[in-house]
Amino acid sequence: MNIRNKRWGWLSATLLIIIIGIVAAACGGSDSSSADTAAADTAAADTAAVETAAAAPEKKIVMGFLSNCEGPFGPFWDATLAGYYTALVQFAGATPVDPADPKAGVTGAMVPGTEIPIEINTDYGCSDDKADKALSEAKRLVEQEGVNILIGPLSGDEGIAVANYAKTQPDVTFLNGISGAQDTTLKVQAPNFFRFFTDGAQWTAGLGAYAYNVLGWRTAVTIGDDYSFPYTQTAGFVSEFCSLGGKVTDRIWPALGETDYSSYIAKLPNDVDGFFLDVGGTGTVQFVNQYTEVNGNDSLQGKVMGGAFISNPAIIKELGSKVEGVVAGSALPSDATDANWTTYVDAITAAFPDQAGNAANIFLAGYYNNTQAAILGLGAVGGNIDDAAAFQSAIAGVEISTGVGPVTVDGNRNAVGANYVVQVSDKGATTLFTVPDVDQSFGGAFSADTPNPDRDNPKCVAGNPPPWAASITK
């Protein structure tokens, strides 16, 4: 009997450790097969590129791709690949292998204006939104696969890790995918890391002023997942709202992956005018469902403003009229009809017709912007990347054309661009107004010397509102 009990003690202890390990590792599901298939699918394209590359006199140009094929953002793997390859088709003259499947890759990419081939590495970097995974994949691509232009990664903490790694590899040029943490460019400042897409704080430009000037909020509470991207988004809202005189009375940070928000909801004070919601992905659906049930409202209109998550088409579909009228910040309009937007959508349609519906998906747009910048930079140096510094300063000077108009980067190599304040309606997300030329410093509120956005920072301080705040009125 005793022996058996002992065995059971050991067994249950071992099992517990295994489960904790699995839960920690999976943390939001797993699907590792897609990367392998993708690599296999495009093996042919790879070989073709290698053969032609041998003829080039200068240092071979090898472009690598790093995104998330598993974890919470795994579902966006195809969209990020579509953005990457659409830019190669549009600006480097490549041809999609299979227009129905971005994973199949492209052939015949060349530096614009030359016959110099761009070799596309198809052993894609597959991460899972964890910084350590993104870092080891970036190292694999650079140190083993010989990639010298890397496009990626996808999410906040990953971006910070890869930007820090970039400092140790000055001859390799890094362009962000769609990771949105502020620190990546503002604090890390790797001279060879570029982000041709705005950061998470820039995506909230206009929201604080809308809350204060239009909705008449004077007090607010923020609630968001506990990691760097929601910190950055909340920083943008807090900084603008407080600069006008608003007060943020509390900031609540549930763990990423929480499923029962009921007690956080109970904790939300009743005596504030509204709150800024930046609980992401599956959490958005759960939070809103639980909030509306307890509060007996059919809609969150006027009470809630959202970050990047709540205006996501997939989330709107799950929440329907509960989020009708909610105002949110967005880096992209989903209802634009102007020439810039049409050109951008046409480019996607020409390369991958099935992905046209993803035009307003930031995951696609981020990879599209950054890949385009790399190609234009290559064009500017005539495909000669022997002098990495010259190539990098050429990239810093390019102006890319995007769905929201031309985008350039600032001295920290971070995009300056327009932001959109949208309202959820039965048509999806309708643009209320556009905030042009939003820079990362938010009109001076953020700099390399200000504290990193975190649970308590930036502090809520009145004064020095960003330049666009005054024009946002009823």
Q: Rule CB under 8 A: which residues touch another protein?
A: 1, 5, 7-9, 11-12, 15-16, 18-20, 22-23, 26-31, 33, 72, 74-75, 226, 250-255, 257, 259-260, 262-264, 266-267, 281-283, 285-286, 289-290, 293-296, 314-315, 318-322, 324, 425-426, 455-456
With respect to another protein, which residue has the nearer C-beta, 58 or 293?
293
Contact yes or no for 127/137 (Cβ under 8 A): yes
Closest distance between another protein and the C-beta of residue 286, in Å? 5
Closest distance between another protein and the C-beta of residue 460, in Å? 14
Closest distance between another protein and the C-beta of residue 272, in Å? 15
With respect to another protein, which residue has the nearer C-beta, 29 or 436?
29
Q: Where are the alpha helices (DSSP H) in 54-99?
A: 77-92
Contact yes or no for 453/182 (Cβ under 8 A): yes
Closest distance between another protein and the C-beta of residue 230, in Å? 12
With respect to another protein, which residue has the nearer C-beta, 129 or 137?
129
With respect to another protein, which residue has the nearer C-beta, 153 or 206?
153
Tokens of 242: 């407080």
* CA separation for the pair 175, 120 (Å, rounded): 15
Closest distance between another protein and the C-beta of residue 237, in Å? 17
Closest distance between another protein and the C-beta of residue 310, in Å? 13
Which amino acid does the sequence have at 467? Answer: P
With respect to another protein, which residue has the nearer C-beta, 306 or 383?
306
Closest distance between another protein and the C-beta of residue 168, in Å? 30
- Is the previous residue joined to 153 through a cis bond, with omega within 30 degrees of 0? yes
* CA separation for the pair 392, 80 (Å, rounded): 23
With respect to another protein, which residue has the nearer C-beta, 374 or 422?
422
* CA separation for the pair 92, 172 (Å, rounded): 20
Closest distance between another protein and the C-beta of residue 396, in Å? 36
Identify the sign of the CA torsion 36, 42, 48, 49: negative
Q: Where are the alpha helices (DSSP H) in 54-142?
A: 77-92, 131-139
Q: Which residues contact 76 (CB under 8 A, 6 or more apart)?
A: 67, 68, 154, 361, 363
With respect to another protein, which residue has the nearer C-beta, 277 or 395?
277
Nearest CA-CA partner of 367 in 66, 105, 39, 145: 66
Q: Which residues contact 435 (CB under 8 A, 6 or more apart)?
A: 205, 206, 418, 419, 420, 421, 468, 472
With respect to another protein, which residue has the nearer C-beta, 12 or 447?
12
